[in-house]
Homo-oligomer: A and B are copies of this chain.
Amino acid sequence: MNTQFKIIAEDDKTGARITRWKTNHGTVETPFFMPVATKMAVKHLTSTDIKEIGIQAVIANSLVLELSRGSLYIEKRGGIHKLMNYDGTIFTDSGGFQMIRESFYEKTTPKGVVFRDPLNQKKSFLATPEWVMHVQGHIGSDVAMILDDHNAHTHTKEKHAEAVLQTYEWGKQCVHAKINPKQLLFGIIQGGSYLDLRKKSAKLMESLQFDGMALGGLATGEPIPVMKKVVSTVTKIIKKEQPRYLMGLGSPIEMINTIGMGIDCFDSTYPTQNARHNTLFTMQGKIDIAKGRYIHDDNPIEEDCDCYTCKNYTKAYVCHLAKSEEPIAMRLKTYHNIFFMKRLMNEAKLAIKENRYQKFEKEFARSFGKKKEQPQKEGKKQKNVSLV
């Protein structure tokens, strides 16, 4: 499938850009953030909510789906879009990320990754490049990811060097094993925190025929400056005319920073997990909605926010619900944070169009950072906390 990739606007002083490309479910415009719908549902939001917010894409986890429900089951139901009643773009993770999850990972072989089924510890199976392409093909996602050799950032350089080569081999095999001609396939650049390995991986990946390029193995606990150095190094050497996806990042300031380096899309459980723990995002920084002072605050979470929660309820009510552990608190908080991500992307786009991205980046870091944001730790690791 041809993505008909186009760069719509570029900022002069930074790498920030607006791009447009096609998937089997319409045209997406970057930069965008993808909420995580591991098991075909974003936590606490329906597909109607997601559409209403204006989210362009979500990401499901093909390994988790294969183990819990089965990709053939999803195909029989008419595919993931029909089952979820979501006509936006859906990405699927290949499962490579689960290599750093003890409950899943057994060992790596040249043929693929041996995973355990966390629900049935006796059952092991080999996830080969062919296997992951079949699973993603049957699920019917719009964008599939290659099987990558995913290592923790703490692993040795030797291990990362091997992973770069292994990911290249598997990536090559994935290109050939694609069963769904309408599905896009993204490569994944690995190499840990080692810039020379990242460069090598980028070159190897660029030599294959992918529809987009992802950076993997980041936002998993490495220091933020290291993550940024890797992103700026890689974005400088990979070709511009393709979607660039930074996997697992969802902390607002770092998203804005890496958009400035030329990243187009992101996924993370960061905003939904923060919402669950009462941390709500505003353009002026994070707030803990369960804090005592909000119980007397008759204003919305964010004065100029147009989200369902802010249009209908006060901080006092959301605080009361959160303190009372009323189930709808989860929905109201999550809705706001996901809406915030969309709004932030809109602000970024406007800054790019008006050629003032650098200024926007600085101002946002200042206003959002005011309330001392903690670096996103183990962001992607928190994904898929439970399988069932």
Contacts and interface: CB of A to CB of B under 8 A. Distances in A.
Interface in A285-336: 295-296, 298, 308, 312-314, 316-317, 320-321, 323-328, 330-332
B328 A77 contact: no
A42 to B, nearest CB: 8
Interface of A: 39-48, 68-69, 73, 76-78, 83-85, 295-296, 298, 308, 312-314, 316-317, 320-321, 323-328, 330-332, 386, 388
A68 B386 CA distance: 32
A327 B48 CA distance: 15
A324 B61 CA distance: 14
A312 B295 CA distance: 35
Contacts of A69: 295, 320
A48 to B, nearest CB: 6
B68 A328 contact: no
Contact of A68 (B85, B296, B312, B324): B324
Given A77-B316, A330-B327, A41 B321 contact: yes
Contacts of A48: 308, 312
Nearest to A64: B324
For the complex of A and B, the 5 pairs showing the least CB-CB separation, nearest first, are: A41-B326, A39-B324, A44-B327, A85-B312, A41-B328
21 contacts: A39-B320, A39-B321, A39-B326, A41-B321, A41-B326, A42-B328, A43-B327, A44-B327, A44-B331, A45-B328, A46-B312, A47-B312, A48-B312, A68-B324, A77-B298, A77-B316, A77-B317, A78-B298, A83-B317, A83-B320, A85-B317
A147 to B, nearest CB: 24
Contacts of A326: 39-41, 43
Nearest to A323: B388
Given A41-B324, A48-B308, 8 more contacts: A39-B326, A40-B321, A40-B326, A41-B321, A43-B326, A43-B328, A44-B327, A324-B388
Contacts of A330: 327
Given A77-B298, A328-B46, A332-B46, A314 B83 contact: yes
A61 to B, nearest CB: 12
A9 B76 CA distance: 50
Given A298-B77, A330-B327, A320 B46 contact: no
A46 B83 contact: no
A114 B43 CA distance: 42
B317 A84 contact: yes
Contacts of A43: 326-328
Given A68-B324, A324-B68, A388-B324, A316 B41 contact: no
Nearest to A321: B41
Contacts of A328: 41-46
A347 to B, nearest CB: 27
